[in-house]
Amino acid sequence: MTTMQAAVFHGVGPGVVVEEVPRPAPGPGEVLVEVAACGLCGTDLHYLLGEAATAKPPPIILGHEVSGIVRELGAGATGVPVGTRVLVPPVLPCGSCRLCRSGRENICSRLRMVGNHTDGGFAEFLVAPVRDVVPLPAELPLAESSVIADALSTPFHAVVNRARVQPGEWVAIVGCGGLGTGALQFAKLAGAHVIAIDLNPERLERARSLGAAVTLNPQETDVPKEVRKITNGGADVAMEVVGSPATFTTALATVRRGGRLCVVGYSDQAAPLPLGRLMFFEEEIVGSLGCRPTDYSVIVELVRQGRVRLEPMVTGRVGLDELGKAVESLRAGRGLRTLVVPRAAGSVLG
């Protein structure tokens, strides 16, 4: 039996253990991908801390932000030859439900998620359906491209398809971690003026370097008041990229009459909603989840053209055995994306 190294999550108590496990074999319509890198994400943190349960109970290999190289084809898998550099999207839609057929595959009613329903990318290899993988052009750095899988695709869909950011608009981004930094890049690209909001001065500094017009720290200033002053009435769009009732309330309070709030952060809690304001001011609140399969090729092209940058998103790299260290750093709010680079794949990174 061929084996591989994997960081296996055994549940909250025992945690993650690096061990030798059977290498998966691609089933019909699947490909075997050698993992070049897999990003560690806040969603993984929810599972690791027991704040959310994985659909496949532990033991499970987490990780859903994968780039790598196709090494084997399952029966009937065509169109992506062995050796192709690919991105593995986090969400695997069914392709046939009503939502999939109306182009909303990201909220497919039968969707499966890598590293949640199936074993993910904190391993040397994983299998994925051939129809879902996205080929990556040679110009893109392979390991860094893993940030496209979620850290860039989620804010792309939020900014472009859901918040529908227009040239000249003021966009207030509440939360400047990985997703917020991605949202900043796409809002700038859409021609918007960005106000970046975060408690962490380091993140605000990074936001400034990526083109935020203004940065605000809620510890130092009354954010909604300041945004209204700067924008002469309020932001056209607010992006909530933290996922808490408090930041939701702050984000909504920054929006002008007729403005839009896009909720990208996850929380299982309820937030109060001023219904009168919503009605009188015709404010819109939309949610946003992941992205549609069709969005990936657009994002890949934007990266290839150098109009969206991968490097500022990558703030660390660790081997499988250092996953715990990366988790601690994520919990502490340091950095944006740490890439987990499985050892054997190091050779393909060049």
By the criterion CB under 5 A, which residues form the site for Zn ion? 41, 43, 93-94, 97, 100, 108, 150
Closer CB to Zn ion, 181 or 254, in the complex: 181
Quote the least distance from Cβ 203 to Zn ion, whole Å. Answer: 18
- Residue 12, classed as helix, strand or coil, is coil
Q: Is 116 left (phi over 0), alpha (psi -120 to 50) or beta?
A: alpha
Helix axes 245-253, 223-231, angle to 10 degrees: 30
CB of 179 to Zn ion, least distance (A): 9
Nearest distance in Å: CB 52, Zn ion: 12
- What is the DSSP track for 59-115? SEE----EEEEEEEE-TT--SS-TT-EEEE-SEE--SSSHHHHTT-GGG-TT-EEBT
Q: Which is nearer to Zn ion, 66 or 194 (CB)?
A: 66
Q: Least CB distance from residue 98 to Zn ion, whole Å?
A: 8
* Residue 90 C-beta: closest distance to Zn ion, Å: 6
Smaller CB distance to Zn ion: residue 42 or 141? 42
State the nearest-atom distance from the C-beta of 216 to Zn ion, in Å: 26
Residue nearest to Zn ion (CB): 41
Cβ proximity to Zn ion, 170 vs 296, nearer residue: 296
Q: Which residue has the tokens 């509440």?
A: 174
Please say whether the beta carbons of 282 and 197 come within 8 A.
no
Task: Select 94 or 271, whichever has its Cβ closest to Zn ion.
Answer: 94
339-to-41, 144, 199, 336 alpha-carbon distances in Å: 10, 8, 24, 10
Which two tokens mark 320? 């499988």
- Select 214 or 326, whichever has its Cβ closest to Zn ion: 326
